[in-house]
Amino acid sequence: MEIGLIGLGKMGGNMAQRIRDGGHTVVGFDRSPASARDVASLEELVQKLSAPRAVWVMVPAGGPTDQTVNALGDLLSEGDIVIDGGNSKYTDDARHAEELGAKGIGFVDAGVSGGVWGLKNGYALMVGGAPENVARIQPVFDALKPEGEGGFVHAGPTVGAGHFAKMVHNGIEYGMMQAYAEGYELMAASPLIENVTETIKSWQQGTVIRSWLLDLAVLALESDPGLSKLRGYAEDSGEGRWTVEAAIDNAVPLPVITAALFARFASRQDDSPAMKMVAALRNQFGGHAVETAGSVSASDAIAPGSR
């Protein structure tokens, strides 16, 4: 099969290689001239592909994806298909499908998981869209997915189903990462555990919490014991927020995922205003010691035990 791939970054470049390794032809484009692109423009990419064309978009969600899909809508022809494999918000997919559909161009949304390890291990694919459009792209999905029966799902015939599934996947990932992180911090703080890295490493065999994320935690600790080279600052790329928004819209309680998202917000505060208020209130009602700017504590400001 022949496919165009727009966006040759960390994931896109590896995906192009895996598709080629699967015996297919990839025409790659990236806006950066420094990338290993095959063509210098979207126009040239479309011209190089044989009709009916299939073009996979692998660029950042939001504005970059909107601009790319809009440009393809002007360049492609009736019968062509666009696949959005980025981390787009599922609500954007209906708009893209409607705009392209008015021109007779198909649209498939594909949530992709696998990160920098996908080239070797394969990518998990969660796909949404009309069955006939998905079937057209199936050879490429088969080349990208891991070997075996798993790793691919046509999540639903309505566009947005793939990105919704990937959004929930990433929300679960938030919760799992937070649980591992909290367990690590507790063991690091306890005088009972002499070797935190080896303890976590021992969980890789025979435990109910073993996972690929646990394997990655071990790799991180082995390369940087104590994680001293890192700052405790964690970004969120959007999917966690969207998962919580969807939970509110559907009246579904997600306490773990929501707490994990808020923990990332807290990580960006050098001196949390909320925790300052907690400390101030504890001092006010109970005379509990608090650290203040320029001094060790302000516990003498309020008489101990006062209410």
Q: CATH no. for residue 171? A: 1.10.1040.10
pLDDT, average across residues 201-229 = 93
pLDDT interval class at 294 (50, 70, 90): low
pLDDT interval class at 197 (50, 70, 90): very high
pLDDT, average across residues 51-71 = 97
pLDDT, average across residues 141-160 = 96
Q: Which of 69, 88, 87, 83 has the alpha carbon at shortest distance from 140?
A: 83
Give the neighbor-by-neighbor strand order of the sheet with 2-6: 25-29, 2-6, 54-57, 81-84, 106-113, 124-128, 152-156
Q: Are 230 and 224 in contact (CB under 8 A)?
A: yes
- Alpha carbon of residue 68 to chain centroid: 20
Say whether both 8 and 152 belong to one domain: yes
Q: Are 80 and 51 in contact (CB under 8 A)?
A: yes
- First-to-final CA distance of the chain: 75
Give the residue from 108, 126, 159 where a domain finishes. 159
| pLDDT tens-digit map of 73-89 | 999 999 999 999 999 99
| pLDDT tens-digit map of 233-245 | 888 778 999 999 9
Give the residue from 124, 159, 194 where a domain finishes. 159
Say whether both 113 and 211 belong to one domain: no
Say whether both 30 and 148 belong to one domain: yes
Out of 89-98, 190-199, 261-270, least confident range? 261-270
Residue 303: predicted pLDDT: 39
Residue that the structure tokens 């423009």 belong to: 41
Say whether both 260 and 279 belong to one domain: no
| pLDDT greater than 80 at residue 187 | yes
Say whether both 244 and 114 belong to one domain: no
At position 271, the amino acid (one-letter code) is D
Residue 230: predicted pLDDT: 81
pLDDT, average across residues 9-24 = 96
Other CB atoms within 10 Å distance of the CB of residue 304: 10
Residue 306: predicted pLDDT: 40
Q: Between 263 and 101, name the one with better pLDDT.
A: 101
Counted domains in the chain = 3
d(CA 155, CA 61): 20
Residue 250: predicted pLDDT: 96
d(CA 38, CA 155): 32
Say whether both 54 and 119 belong to one domain: yes
Say whether both 139 and 189 belong to one domain: no
Say whether both 109 and 175 belong to one domain: no
Q: Are 55 and 49 in contact (CB under 8 A)?
A: yes
Q: Between 264 and 70, name the one with better pLDDT.
A: 70
| pLDDT greater than 80 at residue 280 | no
Phi-psi region of 79 (alpha: psi -120 to 50; beta: other; left: phi over 0): left
Say whether both 254 and 236 belong to one domain: yes
**Sequential DSSP letters for 176-189:** HHHHHHHHHHHHHH
| pLDDT tens-digit map of 247-264 | 999 999 999 999 999 988
pLDDT, average across residues 192-204 = 96
Out of 120-129, 156-165, 269-278, least confident range? 269-278
Task: Give the structural domain span for 279.
Answer: 271-307
Say whether both 236 and 281 belong to one domain: no
β-strand 124-128 against 81-84: which pairing, if any?
Answer: unpaired
Average pLDDT over the chain, rounded to whole? 91
Considering only CA atoms, give the Rg of the chain.
24
Catalytic residues: 166, 173
pLDDT interval class at 276 (50, 70, 90): confident
Give the residue from 133, 159, 185 where a domain finishes. 159
d(CA 181, CA 230): 14
Instruction: Specify the pTM.
Output: 0.87
Question: CATH code at 38?
Answer: 3.40.50.720
